[in-house]
Amino acid sequence: MTYRIIVADNSPSVQKIFELTFSAPEFELRCCRDTQELFTQLNETSPAGLILNLSLPGQDVYDLVAQLNSQSEFRSLPIILVQNAFESIEEKRLSSLVFTKLVTKPFDSEMVAEIIKESLRRTEEPQTLPEDVASDNPSGPAVEEPFPANPEDLAALARPIIREEIVLLERELEKRLRASLLAELKSWVEEKWRSRLKESSQNE
């Protein structure tokens, strides 16, 4: 059975990472850059999981999740909410939503994949309540700071975010490359071993 996963995040690096994580034939990945594309995908397919960035362009994401919660066909849908680094959260609105997990960039894509898979294994059980997520942040709601208008301030704000995206992608690619090299090495060793066994049997 192939599970369809929707990744609603306008970051190309995040989309690429999940393309590597949710691979065929077990998974079919659909990527969305804004809420309009997300609604199109939701209408066209029945997803097994949704990874949704809280800052996705378009409709207010808190309202979007509340809308999904109110529709019977999406009430059991595993929803992973993604918070950007340095992004404040509206704790009160978040506490009224039903979702599976809140993760903050940079995150471990394998961990997110395991959460989705675990949710699929126990679809009959209730999803994690948002109060559980809120309890991980005992310091209270974050205070939203005004967005800078000065170009220099914007550049200073963008630099750490860009570095974060690059580091996240580098980590994932390094992990995938290491796994690929180990698989190739194992295949090479097995081939050499079979070749030696064959030569040994022929000499006998």
pLDDT of residue 124: 44
- Work out the average pLDDT over 158-164: 66
Name, in order, each residue with C-beta under 8 angstroms of 25's C-beta and a sequence gap of 6 or more. 2
Tell me the average pLDDT of the chain.
79
DSSP run (H or E) holding 184: helix 151-203
pLDDT of residue 134: 46
pLDDT of residue 60: 94
- Work out the average pLDDT over 57-74: 93
- Residue bearing tokens 């993760």: 103
pLDDT of residue 148: 57
DSSP run (H or E) holding 31: strand 27-32
Longest dimension (CA), the chain: 81
Q: Is 176 exposed, middle or buried (0-12, 13-18, 19+ CB in 10 A)?
A: middle
pLDDT bin (cut points 50, 70, 90) of residue 127 is very low
- Work out the average pLDDT over 150-177: 66
Evaluate if residue 133 carries a pLDDT over 50.
Answer: no
pLDDT bin (cut points 50, 70, 90) of residue 179 is low
- Work out the average pLDDT over 162-190: 70
Evaluate if residue 159 carries a pLDDT over 70.
Answer: no
pLDDT of residue 157: 64
pLDDT of residue 104: 87
- Work out the average pLDDT over 132-139: 48
Give the predicted TM-score (pTM) of the model: 0.60
Q: Which two tokens stand for residue 167?
A: 């580091």
